Amino acid sequence: MVKIAIAGGSSQVAHEVIDALVVAGKHDITLLFRKDPDPKDTVEGTEWAKVDYLNKQALAEFLRGFHTVLSFIDPRRDAGGEVQKNLVDASIVAGVKRFAPAEWGAAVLLNSAADGKDVVREYLKEVNKDGKILEYCLFQCGGFMNYLSSPHIGAKHIAQVNTWYDFENCRALVIEGFEDKAQMTFTRVEDLAGVVARAVEYDGEWPTLGGINGSTVTSAQVIALGEKIRGKPFQVERLKVEDLEKGQLVSSWVPLFHHPAIPEDQVEPISRHFLLTAFLVKLSGGHVVSDEWNMLLPDYEFTSIEQFLTNVWTGKP
């Protein structure tokens, strides 16, 4: 049994991981909250505790006896990485063996979230520069394959997000000249959760970079799969690199990201900014992740993008 503390336990991705840990039935799991949680954020088979992330001494006292800390703290709401750095320091004082910072996505992000992630990555490096004090892993999985099911529900907890691959309307946005070059890794969120559930009880040392790779594909390959499964050609719109580099998104349509936290009058500008950022990351290669955990867990069966798309879209009008 592994005693696990989960920071940021109310996040959608955290809930996917928590479910996998609970199903494993082997661990003592405590969800950490800043205040009394909403009942929907508590999970049967776990305990919860209220902690002050800014009080390192109290946090260290609380973490004594825990083996692993998994952080799902939103970097966009953690200015300068203060909360996660406090979690690192408290984990060291408490004798925690393993720590996972809030990664759970692409290797590179060109937006405000990247700043928090980069700060914590560098802090963990500095902590271990003279020898390993705290074992940690950057769990990276690329984009969630589940988003490609929109508007159909693709996962139990993560909200549905529209992407530049619109399977419902058989259309796609691609970067001109990079259809067969720029790649992106897609991993089913359930596979991310399944790997983490196995990683917490892994006997060997965690890799510092922990790539989880479902399928790495080009735009041309995704569109070809879409046309094959949907049985009709996709309308492909090509975006010019020079426009993207100037911060201009020139397209006839934009996938809109509706979310309770986004005011309705801000949905389109925020969606355009996100899409522009995503394409710049794609040009940089930042959407491709490695496969360390695939190699360490050779018996784990990952869902391929073709399997996922076939299961979701076969027979849909």
Residue 72 CA to residue 177 CA, distance in Å, equals 37
Domain of 54, CATH number, reads 3.40.50.720
21 in any annotated domain: yes
Are 163 and 305 members of one domain?
yes
Q: What is the pLDDT along the chain (317 residues), one digit of tens a residue?
A: 899 999 999 999 999 999 999 999 999 999 999 999 888 889 999 999 999 999 999 999 999 999 999 999 988 888 899 999 999 999 999 999 999 999 999 887 655 455 678 899 999 999 999 999 999 999 999 999 999 999 999 999 998 889 999 999 999 999 999 999 999 999 999 999 999 999 999 999 999 999 999 999 999 999 999 999 999 999 999 999 999 999 999 999 999 987 766 788 999 999 998 899 999 999 989 899 999 999 999 999 999 999 999 999 999 99
Tell me the residue range of the domain where 123 lies. Answer: 3-136
- Counting the structural domains of the chain, the total is 2
- 101 and 58: one domain? yes
Q: What is the CATH number of the domain that holds 241?
A: 3.90.25.10
What's the pTM value of the predicted model, to 2 decimals?
Answer: 0.95
Asked if 28 and 85 sit in the same domain, the reply is yes
- Identify whether residues 148 and 230 lie together within a single domain: yes
Report if residue 223 sits inside a domain.
yes
Q: Does one domain contain both 227 and 277?
A: yes
DSSP, collapsed to helix, strand or coil, labels residue 211 as strand
* Neighbour tally for 141: CB within 10 Å: 29
CA–CA gap between residue 103 and residue 212 (Å, rounded): 12
Question: Looking at the structure, do residues 171 and 127 belong to the same domain, yes or no?
Answer: no
| H-state helical runs in the chain | 12-24, 56-63, 82-94, 112-127, 189-199, 219-230, 241-245, 267-284, 292-296, 305-313
Rounded Cα distance, 141 and 291, in Å: 9
Task: Report residue 193 as tokens.
Answer: 């959760």
Domain boundary at 98, 114, 136, which? 136
22 and 129 in a single domain? The answer is yes
Residues 100 and 226 occupy one common structural domain: no
